[in-house]
């Protein structure tokens, strides 16, 4: 039997030499454990795993490597009692790694009751009483009925507030565990730089450093700083999609991914590496598609040598939906379904998500290839280890009495509103139109395709009695078909009606942008969600231009899930609030900003382009990318990364650096004074960028290396400082080695990637 010490060394070497013969009913002959030792909570997790594994049959092991979706037959009857389809009953006879989304459409209390019953059934109906993992997702809170709904990750990234992200995901972890969940296929650590990609809003933006900081906080939060896993208060994270998924060619889901090795190392990998090393994520999900020609689900160099051998990942690695089988029938890099299963297993994938035509074949494959049972054992160890870490063998059930008071609590709903307020970005405020004066009576028209049913009531609750509102959505952007929505024809009568309502108002607030139908995931079954252009669809620009021609103030509330080239909106609107995709209280929070109850403090987590033709167009491109513009197009973005206005003004002054020389063994500090030169207390995101002036390879124009969100009273000054470490300056050199290069560097501290003070230092070896 392999020693327990070997398991502890998994951060350096993967264990591949274990049991090849397992006795069915008793522990194996050379085991030092008794058959019930795995139930002994006094033993270490590694000891309990090693005690349980030899008891299991090959078929039982493979069952611990598969997850199915609850929609194949996990439900409740009219009285709330658990009902299982024959298909599910058959699948659970040998146990199971986990089930995706059980009870997702039930209330939290009903889901907790059902999941307790489901777990009890699973434990009592497999020989060793092995519990299952119940798995959810979280793009704006727990993806289930009755939980707190937050803004999407790209929305909350605009807050530039680490503590806020941690607290939001702490709520996600607590609410998920209360309803009986154990793992979460979130957060995403992908870098998203192509807004044609329909899944853009699931990630954190274009920048490596910002994404890394957000992923660390989200992972720590949802896992309860890891302690919450064993205490039964939180769930495990499955960070995804490893790696390069957001870089699909043409912004098209499932397309090839072509990224230079240097860019992978310096820009794409860091959020994943941090999730492993700093946040101790329990899970990682492999990416759809390929990476520079190598199908990701068969990429041993990526999934084993890098993720485990170099980074020390100890959790389980799961496939994306059906993607092991797709090595054969979609990627076409395997000769058969069985060959695909072997490729995934050898690459290091421990759990097969959903498929019936990949890991299901493993028991039969062992008959002709007995040595692969060692790889099966390797994966089962990882899965069992996670279940022990989560305490499921000792405490598999949730306390239903705690659910109602713990889910959608007053504090959680208040947090959703707080996050909204910190994430809304003021892009434009011509003639200081905002905030609107509550004491000045006015008629306001709330118009446009992104208007919601509750928008008017939310605005009325904030504005008070001196304002009167009229609301009219006017038109939808599409026919709202879930799979493949179609754009609707322009209706001149509707445009005329909206113009009439705007004409009768003193101020018009237009709700424009995009929705869940114009930016979404593209699935295999003929569902599309990516776009070839990023201009606002439908007659939105026309509506704005005609209302603007009336000569009255126009405020645009921009809602969207992908970056849009808002040329007309930027030109014509008097004020623009970029809200991305906020929580369920988003319109209330927007009203609070408009009427001045809160000062906007969000900053752009992406660059806003003038045209899709400018892409790739992130702020941290190489300096040489900015040498030439395009014919007939103004240079630069509409709005740069990190940009966001306030209702006050901030003056940056007195930039200073503690030393003009940095060495490999030292740190230096850069500081700046920020003064609130306006009339209201407000928050400001202070950003630090560094530029390597001369490099042995072409270097980014600048890179975000620090940020801090501060709050300042009118007339007050605060000093903000950042440490500069040698690690910040390291990069992949011409020989693909990680190097620290002597030379000149510029450090920039300011309010955006385009507006800052700067100073210089030298790195000397």
Residue 443's Cβ-count burial label (10 Å; 0-12, 13-18, 19+) is middle
What percentage of the chain has pLDDT greater than the value 90?
Answer: 92
pLDDT in tens, 284-297: 999 998 999 999 99
- Please tell me the number of Cα atoms within 13 Å of 745 on its side-chain side: 33
Quote the pLDDT of residue 234. 98
> How far is it, in rounded angstroms, from Cα 308 to Cα 286?
13
Compute the average pLDDT of residues 194-211: 97
Looking at 570, 602, 634, the residue that finishes a domain is 602
- Tens digits of per-residue pLDDT, 89-126? 999 999 999 999 999 999 999 999 999 999 999 999 99
Structure tokens, 343: 């490729």
pLDDT at position 218 over 60: yes
pTM of this structure: 0.94
481, 572: one domain: yes
Instruction: For the chain, give the percent of residues with pLDDT over 70.
Output: 96
Is residue 411, in this structure, part of any structural domain at all? no
Tell me, what's the pLDDT at 588? 98
Q: Are residues 549 and 665 in the same domain?
A: no
Q: What is the DSSP string of 507-575?
A: EEEEEEE--TTTS-PPPSSS-----S--SPPTTHHHHHHHHHTTTS-EEEEEE-SS----HHHHHH-SE
4-56 per-position pLDDT tens digit: 333 333 333 333 333 332 333 333 334 678 889 999 999 999 999 999 999 99
User: Which pLDDT does position 40 carry in this prediction?
Assistant: 96
Q: Is position 319 within any domain?
A: no
Please tell me whether residues 535 and 660 are part of one structural domain. Answer: no
* Total domains, the chain: 3
**57 lies in some domain:** no
Q: Last residue of some domain: 537, 571, 602?
A: 602
CA gap 259, 266 in Å, rounded: 11
Q: Is 106 a domain residue?
A: no
What confidence tens digit (pLDDT) does each residue in 588-623 have?
999 999 999 999 999 999 999 999 999 999 999 999
What is the rounded CA–CA span in Å between residue 332 and residue 310? Answer: 29
Q: Looking at the structure, tell me whether residues 597 and 654 fall in a common domain.
A: no
- The DSSP bridge partners found for residue 683 are 711
Looking at residue 28, what is its pLDDT? Answer: 39
What local confidence, expressed as pLDDT, does residue 464 receive? 87
How much is the mean pLDDT over the chain? 94
Given this model, what pLDDT does residue 31 score? 60
Range of weakest confidence among 90-94, 520-524, 637-641: 520-524
- Say if residue 664 is in the same domain as residue 597: no
Structural domain includes residue 585: yes
Q: How confident is the model at residue 655 (pLDDT cuts 50, 70, 90)?
A: very high
What's the confidence (pLDDT) of residue 4? Answer: 30
What domain range includes position 694?
Answer: 650-763
Same domain, residue pair 577 and 679 = no
Q: Is the pLDDT of residue 487 over 60?
A: yes
678 shares a domain with 584: no
Same domain? 715 vs 580: no
Among the listed residues 122, 725, 40, 716, the one whose alpha carbon sits nearest the alpha carbon of residue 397: 122
Six-digit token string for 223: 């896992």
Q: Are residues 685 and 583 in the same domain?
A: no
What's residue 524's pLDDT? 85
Is 89 inside any structural domain? no
543 and 658 fall within a common domain: no
More confident of the two residues 360 and 7:
360
The SS3 of residue 12 is coil
pLDDT at 213 over 50: yes
Domain of 257: which CATH number?
Answer: 3.20.20.300
Pair 175, 252 in one domain = yes
Alpha carbon distance 196, 519 (integer Å): 8
Distance of CA 296 to the CA centre of its chain: 20
Q: Answer yes or no: is 228 within a domain.
A: yes
Residue 1 pLDDT? 33
Structure tokens at 582: 């906020």
Cβ atoms of 524 and 602 closer than 8 Å: no
* Last-in-domain residue among 544, 578, 602: 602
- The CATH number of the domain where 534 resides is what? 3.40.50.1700
* 673 — pLDDT class (breaks 50, 70, 90): very high
- Based on the fold, state whether residues 728 and 665 are members of the same structural domain: yes
745 is a domain residue: yes
- Calpha distance 30→213 (Å, rounded): 47
pLDDT band (50, 70, 90) for residue 525: confident
């Amino acid at each position: 039997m392999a020693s327990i010490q070997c398991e502890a060394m998994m951060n350096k070497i993967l264990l591949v030499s274990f049991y090849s013969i397992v006795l069915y009913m008793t522990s194996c002959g050379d085991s030092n454990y008794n058959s019930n030792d795995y139930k002994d909570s006094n033993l270490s997790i590694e000891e309990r795993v090693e005690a349980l594994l030899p008891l299991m049959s090959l078929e039982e092991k493979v069952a611990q490597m598969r997850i199915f979706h609850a929609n194949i037959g996990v439900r409740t009857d009219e009285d709330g009692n658990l009902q299982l389809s024959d298909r599910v009953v058959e699948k659970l006879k040998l146990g199971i790694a986990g089930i995706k989304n059980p009870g997702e459409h039930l209330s939290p209390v009903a889901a907790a009751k059902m999941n307790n019953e489901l777990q009890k059934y699973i434990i009592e109906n497999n020989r060793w009483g092995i519990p299952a993992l119940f798995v959810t997702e979280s793009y704006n809170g727990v993806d289930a009925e009755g939980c707190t709904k937050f803004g999407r990750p790209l929305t909350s990234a605009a807050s530039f507030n680490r503590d806020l992200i941690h607290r939001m995901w702490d709520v996600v972890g607590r609410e998920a565990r209360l309803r009986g969940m154990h793992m979460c296929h979130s957060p995403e650590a992908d870098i998203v730089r192509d807004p044609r990609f329909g899944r853009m809003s699931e990630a954190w933006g274009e920048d490596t450093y910002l994404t890394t900081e957000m992923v660390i906080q989200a992972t720590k939060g949802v896992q309860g700083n890891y302690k919450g896993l064993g205490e039964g208060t939180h769930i495990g994270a499955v960070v995804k999609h490893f790696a390069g998924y957001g870089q699909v060619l043409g912004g098209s889901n499932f397309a090839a991914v072509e990224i230079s090795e240097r860019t992978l190392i310096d820009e794409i990998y860091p959020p994943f590496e941090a999730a492993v090393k700093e946040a101790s994520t329990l899970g990682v999900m492999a990416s759809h598609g390929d990476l520079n020609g190598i199908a990701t689900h068969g990429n041993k160099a990526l999934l084993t040598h890098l993720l485990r051998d170099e980074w020390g990942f100890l959790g389980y690695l799961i496939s994306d939906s059906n993607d092991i089988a797709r090595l054969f029938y979609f990627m076409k890099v395997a000769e058969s379904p069985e060959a695909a299963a072997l490729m995934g297993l050898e690459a290091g994938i421990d759990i097969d998500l959903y498929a019936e035509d990949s890991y299901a074949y493993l028991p039969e494959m062992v008959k002709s290839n007995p040595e692969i049972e060692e790889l099966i054992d390797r994966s089962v160890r990882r899965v069992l280890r996670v279940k022990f870490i989560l305490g499921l063998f000792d405490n598999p059930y949730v306390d239903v009495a705690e659910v109602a008071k713990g889910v959608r609590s007053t504090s959680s709903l208040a947090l959703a509103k707080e996050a909204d307020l910190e994430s809304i970005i003021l892009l434009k405020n011509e003639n200081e139109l905002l905030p609107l004066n509550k004491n000045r009576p006015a008629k306001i028209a709330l118009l446009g395709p992104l208007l919601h049913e509750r928008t008017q009531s939310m605005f009325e609750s904030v504005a008070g009695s001196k304002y009167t509102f009229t609301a009219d959505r006017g038109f939808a952007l599409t026919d709202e078909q879930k799979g493949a929505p179609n754009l609707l024809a322009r209706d001149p009568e509707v445009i005329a009606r909206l113009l009439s309502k705007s004409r009768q108002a003193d101020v018009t607030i237009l709700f424009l942008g995009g929705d869940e139908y114009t930016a979404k995931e593209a699935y295999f079954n003929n569902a599309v969600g990516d776009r070839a252009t990023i201009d606002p669809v439908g007659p939105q620009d026309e509506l704005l231009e005609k209302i603007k021609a009336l000569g009255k103030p126009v405020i645009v509330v921009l809602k969207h899930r992908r970056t849009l080239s808002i040329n007309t909106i930027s030109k014509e609107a008097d004020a623009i609030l970029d809200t991305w995709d906020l929580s369920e209280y988003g319109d209330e929070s927007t009203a609070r900003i408009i009427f001045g109850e809160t000062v906007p403090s969000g900053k752009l987590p992406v660059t806003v382009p003038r045209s899709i033709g400018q892409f790739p167009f992130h702020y941290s491109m190489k300096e040489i990318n900015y040498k030439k513009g395009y014919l007939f197009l103004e240079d630069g973005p509409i709005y740069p990364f990190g940009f966001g206005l306030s209702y006050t003004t901030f003056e940056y002054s007195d930039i200073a650096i503690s030393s003009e020389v940095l060495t490999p063994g030292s740190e230096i500090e850069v500081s700046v004074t920020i003064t609130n030169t306006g009339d209201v207390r407000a928050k400001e995101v202070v950003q630090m960028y560094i530029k390597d002036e001369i490099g042995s390879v072409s270097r980014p124009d600048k890179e975000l290396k620090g940020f801090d969100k501060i709050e300042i009273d009118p007339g007050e000054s605060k000093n903000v400082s950042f440490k500069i470490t040698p690690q910040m300056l390291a990069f992949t050199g011409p020989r693909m080695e990680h190097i620290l290069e002597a030379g000149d560097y510029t450090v920039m501290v300011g309010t955006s990637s385009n507006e800052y003070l700067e100073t210089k230092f030298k790195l000397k070896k």
